[in-house]
Amino acid sequence: MLIHRLAIIGVGLIGGSLARALKRASACGRVIGCARSVGGLEKAVNLGVIDEFHTEVAVAAAGADMIVIAVPLGATAAVFEQMRDHLNDKAVITDVGSVKGTVVQAARRILGPHMFRFVPGHPVAGTEKSGVEASFAELFDGHRVILTPVADTEARAVQQVTKMWEQAGALVEVMEVAQHDKVLAATSHLPHVLAYSLVQTLARVEESEGVFRFAAGGFADFTRIASSSPEMWHDIVFANQKAILTMVERFNQELAILVQAIDANDSHKVMEVFNQAKAVRDEFSANRLKHIPVANELISH
C-alpha cells in the first residue's frame, strides 16, 4: 500500500475527491479528515470518503505518513502552524492550493526545518461546486497535477506525492513556482475574474432590462465558473495579484483592438480576430478530448 495513514486537512471538493480516488485505487489505508465543522466531517464519514475525523489539525496530522492540505489558500498558513510541532518523522506534506508563490513563502517561514518534506502541488481539475457532497473519485482522471518543488524539497517526498497523484488518475508535471503562477493567472484566474465581472455587468443591466429571461447557452457556457466559491476566489486573486493584473491588462488591450474594429466597421479586422480565436479554441478542444476520458464538461482550475 502506498500510503498507510492519510490525513486530509480540508475535506471539500478537492480533498474529498482525492480521498475517494485513492480509495478507489486501494492506494491508502486509513483516511483521517480534518475541518472546522463537525457536520461536514460527519457527512464525509457517512459518504465513505474518510474513516475518522478530528477538528484539530495537530491531532489529524500526528501519525500520518501523507498529509494533504486542501483548505482555502487563506487558511494554509494557519494549518502549517497547527501541524508543525506534531509531524511524524516520515511524514510527507503536500497541498492543492491554486497559487503556489504565497504557499511556498508561508511554508518556508512556518515549516522551517520541515521544509524538505513539503511538496507544493496543484491539481488542474475542479468544478464550480464546493464541499464534500460535490466530491467524486473521477475528478482527476486524465487531468494534470502540477508540482512545484523548491531547492530544499527532498526527492523522496516528490516521488511519493507523484505516485499518490498517479494512483488518483492524474498526470503529474513539475514546474517552477513563478511559472505556475503566471500560467494559471492566464488560463484559470483571468477567466474567473472575467466570468464574475460579466455576470455582475448583466446583473446591473437586468435591473432595467430584464435580460436574464433571454440568457441562453452562450451565457451559461461563459459564466458557469462564476458559481465557484467566492471565498476561494477571494483568496486566489490576492495570492496571485500581480500576475492576474498583468493578464487583465493584456486582456484589456486585446478587447480594445476588437472594440475599435467594431466601432470603425472594420469587418476584415473583426473576422481576423474571430477566425484566429476560433482556430485556437478548436485546437484546444480537440487536444483536450484526447487526454481527458471522462467529465469533459468540467473546467480546470
Site residues (CB under 6 A) for ligand NAP? 9-15, 34-37, 40, 70-73, 75, 78-79, 96-98, 122-123, 126-127, 130-131, 229, 232, 236, 301
* Chain centroid to CA 260: 35
Least gap, CB of 86 to ligand NAP (angstroms): 14
Q: Are 74 and 99 in contact (CB under 8 A)?
A: no
For residues 266 and 263, give the distance between their C-alpha atoms in angstroms, rounded to a whole number.
8
Least gap, CB of 246 to ligand NAP (angstroms): 20
Helix (H) or strand (E) holding 275: helix 267-291
Cell of 122: 496543484
DSSP 58-72: HHHHTT-SEEEE-S-
Least gap, CB of 235 to ligand NAP (angstroms): 7
Least gap, CB of 264 to ligand NAP (angstroms): 40
The residue (of 14 and 226) whose beta carbon lies closer to ligand NAP is 14
Least gap, CB of 265 to ligand NAP (angstroms): 41
Q: How far apart are the first and last CA of the chain?
A: 30
For residues 281 and 275, give the distance between their C-alpha atoms in angstroms, rounded to a whole number.
10
For residues 238 and 175, give the distance between their C-alpha atoms in angstroms, rounded to a whole number.
21
Q: 278 CB contacts (<8 Å, ≥6 apart)?
A: none
Q: Dihedrals φ, ψ of 185, to 5°?
A: -60, -40
The residue (of 154 and 244) whose beta carbon lies closer to ligand NAP is 244
The residue (of 33 and 149) whose beta carbon lies closer to ligand NAP is 33
Least gap, CB of 157 to ligand NAP (angstroms): 20
Q: Are 9 and 34 in contact (CB under 8 A)?
A: yes
The residue (of 130 and 153) whose beta carbon lies closer to ligand NAP is 130
Q: What angle do CA 118, 193, 96 make, to 5 degrees?
A: 15
